Chains A and B, each alone.
Chain A
Amino acid sequence: MKIEVLGPGCPKCMSTEQNVRKALTELAVQAEVEKVTDIQEIVRKGVMSTPALVIDGSLVLQGRIPTVEQLKELIRAR
């Protein structure tokens, strides 16, 4: 599983990345977590509201910081 956290580096994106790692630890799931900060890359994926989350190539969430609970659900669904 590959999880990408999209954001230009503001505190919201960092919180999102922290929550993602926490959710993965709590679920005991292995996944590659990548932080995407390049604006052009972010726009190409159709994101206009950061932070945004892409799991295995699909955009699943944008515009808010997902809670650990919400993330666990999103990861479990895959």
Chain B
Amino acid sequence: MRWARRIAVGLTAAAGWWLLYSNLERFANWLVYSAIGMATGTRFASAMAFFVFEAPKVLMLLLAVVFGVGIIRSFFTPERTRRMLAGRRQAVGNVLGSLLGVVTPFCSCSAVPLFIGFVTTGVPLGVTFSFLIAAPMINEVALVLLFGLFGWKVAGLYLGTGLVIAMAAGWVIGRLRLERWVEGWVYATTPASPRAGMVERIGWAQRVSLGRDAVTDIVGKVWPYVLAGIAVGAGIHGYVPEQLMASIMGKGAWWSVPLAVLVGIPMYSNAAGIIPIVQALLEKGAALGTVLAFMMSVIGLSLPEVIILRKVLKLPLIATFVCVVGIGILVVGYLFNIVL
């Protein structure tokens, strides 16, 4: 009967969440324009209303999604993924590696042991790269925030193109036969025996607690950046004139996509913080392709991760990796500016 109580609690929480969520905009407008009494149409009021609406909205979405994804991730381990990818042929492996990269729990501090674990047990280099590209680039936080703020089409675009880039870039790297640019000692490492790395059997109670841990870990760490990002977005929303971004990042400026990618590569932001900025830029006339390209190069390619990977990859391979992914993002950016 503890089951019934737990499910009841869960459903009540979900219902409460939904009630709160669907009334946020009304609440924000009421607070800013009625309770505080700001005049409509002023830039400050506009920025305030944006902030009061978006901040709780984004945080609530984050809570729900991080919890859900935490539970999904409890079904996947790097060990399982490795076994599924070992010995796969290139094309199938790239597809599978990218998909698994999205759902397997992955922390960039584990990038090195994971990389070695993969390549020494028969996972092809290109397939390993598909995994390593997809994992940070397709971020569940970013995905659901995009869905919540822009709808399923933009979220779907992000997911789809992120996967395609991971698959294609991994495939290209595999075809270039760059194994000689992996640090020699990596391949000399004795691979773990096939039975090493245990399989932890866990029950639902523990899955839920993993979901909760994910929320405290991720949301607990990320919320200041989210609020900062929304504040910046509010500022842009209230103060930057309409269509200003159109001249800099709009469709007409063909150089905006490469510029966005180049600016984004050295930058690193967690996904949650950058979405509100994305939203404000789009609102002010920036083209969707350019903004997506910027976002993907910020979260997909990060200096810290490159530094970590330097332990196992020689510079030419790292450079190739960054360039191939960068070009992939560039192509996606142009494609969307043309098509949409």
Contacts and interface: CB of A to CB of B under 8 A. Distances in A.
Interface of A: 7-8, 10, 12, 39-40, 42-50, 58-64
A47 B113 CA distance: 7
Contacts of A49: 77-78, 105-107, 110, 113-114
A44 B190 contact: yes
Given A45-B196, A61-B200, A40 B185 contact: yes
A60 B113 CA distance: 17
B109 A43 contact: no
A46 B193 contact: yes
A34 B94 CA distance: 38
Given A59-B198, A63-B78, A64-B213, A42 B113 contact: yes
A48 B79 contact: yes
A48 B198 contact: no
A44 B189 contact: yes
Interface in B191-206: 191-193, 195-198, 200
Interface string B38-55: 000000000000000000
A59 B113 contact: no
Interface residues of B, number: 30
A54 B107 CA distance: 20
A63 B77 contact: yes
Contacts of A44: 189-190, 192
B314 interface: no
Given A49-B78, A50-B110, A40 B196 contact: no
Contacts, number: 76
Which 5 pairs show the lowest CB-CB distances between chains A and B? A46-B196, A46-B192, A46-B197, A48-B117, A48-B78
A63 B112 CA distance: 13
B144 interface: no
B213 A62 contact: no
Given A49-B77, A49-B107, A43 B200 contact: no
A64 B110 CA distance: 11
A63 B105 contact: yes
B29 to A, nearest CB: 42
Nearest to A59: B198
A43 B185 CA distance: 12
Most central of B77, B106, B197 by chain A CB within 10 Å: B197
B311 interface: yes
13 contacts: A12-B107, A40-B185, A46-B117, A48-B82, A48-B110, A48-B114, A48-B118, A48-B197, A49-B106, A50-B107, A59-B197, A63-B77, A64-B213
